[in-house]
Structure 1
Amino acid sequence: MKPTLTRRAQNPDISSTANKSSSIWLKDNGCPLGTVPIRRITKDDLIRQRHIPPPEGTFESPLTNINNNREPKTSNISSQGYKLTKSFSYSACNSSNPYDPNNKFAGAGMSASLWNPRIESQQHTACRLKIQKGSNILQVGWRVDPALYGDTKTRSFIHFQAGNIHCFNTLCPGFIIVNRDFPVDASFDNFQHRGDKSASEITMFIDRDFVNGNWWLLYDESNVEVGFWPQKIFTELRSFADNVEWGGVAYSEPGVPEHPMGSRCFPIGDPNYDAYCRRFNVLNDKGETIHIDKTNVRVDDPNHYGLMDVPHWRGGKYQHMAFYGGPGGFETLC
């Protein structure tokens, strides 16, 4: 299937992008022509699925906004057990309300540094790009999740939610892979350590096909087409999204100490030491790319996690940085 997208692949040669993001690309030139990579589902996978917590829910609650000393606003907060550090977008029309139902986003993107926080079996942590309208949600990013994957490796992930139905990766029908070189749940061999002089990061986009309404996943700066969620599986996301978020997520079962997020340390505003997201952008309803300067910021538990939102970290393109992370309920030497 050839999508009609605003962001088109700049270079169809995937091998040229392999070293930019990670070693997530399949070895030995990927799958045979006419096939795509899908992880084999085992009995253990099915047993672990029973213990995967529901995705972060949303409901209305007063929110203290910590960005630029603005007045408190009402916004969504997470389900029990979830802690978020996130930036979320204003509309392309500069509305003061990021949850304005008149927002019309046809896609979004970000780059994120890769980390491997140490967590326990019934915990998970992630950095994700999330677009949403009502109960319909799409998420992409990296994740450490023993309940989902059976290990503590840093892996890519995708997730969709349509009403009461939700699914990770290819564990159920929904996402259609078209790329024979890219497994959506593969592990990263390279990730960041505090003090590294060069970051290991991944770039990702979610874009809506204006012709048929399908939502496409693109990776790397060359916009490699990985696959798509068909329009027909959604209710509210049959049209445009009205909210976009970027940032970190941590989950621990209620009553269990919060685990570390990102670099395991509170951010200091340095990409060599902090987990970060950058390259914040959205597509408006005309397919125009809007680079985001203004965001609202929220931290669920400032005693354990932090976020520094810096719209102009340095000169040049894509320099809106959101540094996030924290030790959770554990002592960490930083």
Structure 2
Amino acid sequence: GTAAYTSYQNPMQGYYGAMATFDIYNFPTLKKGFQSAANMALHTSKEAIQAGWEINPTLYGDNKTHFFVYYNVDIKYDPGCSNLVCDGFVPNKEDGDWWIHTGRDTNNLTPVGYWPKSLFTTMRDNATSLFWGGTTVSPSNEPSPPMGNGQWPGELSAFVRDIQYIDASGQGNAPESWLHNLRAEVSNNKCYQVSSLTENMFHYGGPGGCTKN
């Protein structure tokens, strides 16, 4: 499932990075086969990189919330690779292109690692689309798990704020200047929803419970 904001029209020079602040929650009862994540992504029609926080009992062997990274060099045919399972993501080096930094705010960021540009073809220099929000995964015919903190969007629900894209000069750009490039994306509003984007912040999530065949 998905409840997020995505860009659908890239600026003339493309997206060279993205930023956001997420609040993070946990679902102690989530079982193997289910996932719930808060994440951001940059991608083209073929390739993608992604980072955020997820609960994934199948991958980690527990139902705690973990920081994760993911990349895919062929969205159509390749399932992609998470964390350090493959050689693509390089932790704590001093060169590279698609860097990840994490911290409590934009003034206190620590580098985590990067994906070298040599991994990519269409994303060697920039991306054409962005994504901020929540995602879930569930087995076929099983009710989907909660997203965010399990609440419908509102004052007490999960949020994403301080979203920006990075331009070719390395400057951050808040949505006020490119709001027309963003749209809400919800896979099934009976299970998940997203609020309007107000003052560079939106709420998202829901209780889940949808089944797929």
TM-score normalised according to structure 1 size: 0.56
> Out of 254, 261, 264, which is 2:140 matched to?
254
Distance between the aligned counterparts of 2:10 and 2:160, measured in 1? 24
Is residue 130 of structure 2 the alignment partner of residue 244 of structure 1? yes
Tell me how far 1:165 sits from its aligned partner.
6.2
Whose RCO is larger (CA < 8 A, sep 6+)? Answer: 2
Distance between the aligned counterparts of 2:11 and 2:140, measured in 1? 32
Which aligned pairs between 1:1-334 and structure 2 lie closer than 5 A?
Answer: 83-89=1-7, 98-100=8-10, 102=12, 104-117=14-27, 118-163=29-74, 164=78, 166-178=80-92, 214-220=97-103, 221=106, 222-268=108-154, 270=155, 273-293=156-176, 294=179, 295-312=182-199, 320-329=200-209
Whether the 8 Å contact between 1:214 and 1:228 is mirrored in structure 2 is yes
Residue ranges of structure 2 left out of the alignment (5+ in a row): none
Identity percentage over the alignment? 27
Whether the 8 Å contact between 1:103 and 1:241 is mirrored in structure 2 is no
Distance 1:215 1:85, change over 3 A: same
Tell me how far 1:250 sits from its aligned partner.
0.9
Residue ranges of structure 1 left out of the alignment (5+ in a row): 1-82, 90-97, 180-208, 313-319
The amino acid of 1:88's aligned partner reads: T
Q: Which structure is larger by alpha-carbon Rg, 1 or 2?
A: 1
Q: How many residues align?
A: 199
The amino acid of 1:113's aligned partner reads: D
Tell me how far 1:281 sits from its aligned partner.
0.2
Higher strand proportion: 2
Distance between the aligned counterparts of 1:171 and 1:329, measured in 2? 31
Distance between the aligned counterparts of 1:135 and 1:101, measured in 2? 18
Whether the 8 Å contact between 2:96 and 2:115 is mirrored in structure 1 is no
Tell me how far 1:133 sits from its aligned partner.
1.3
C-alpha root-mean-square deviation of aligned residues, in Å? 2.0
Distance between the aligned counterparts of 1:103 and 1:258, measured in 2? 38
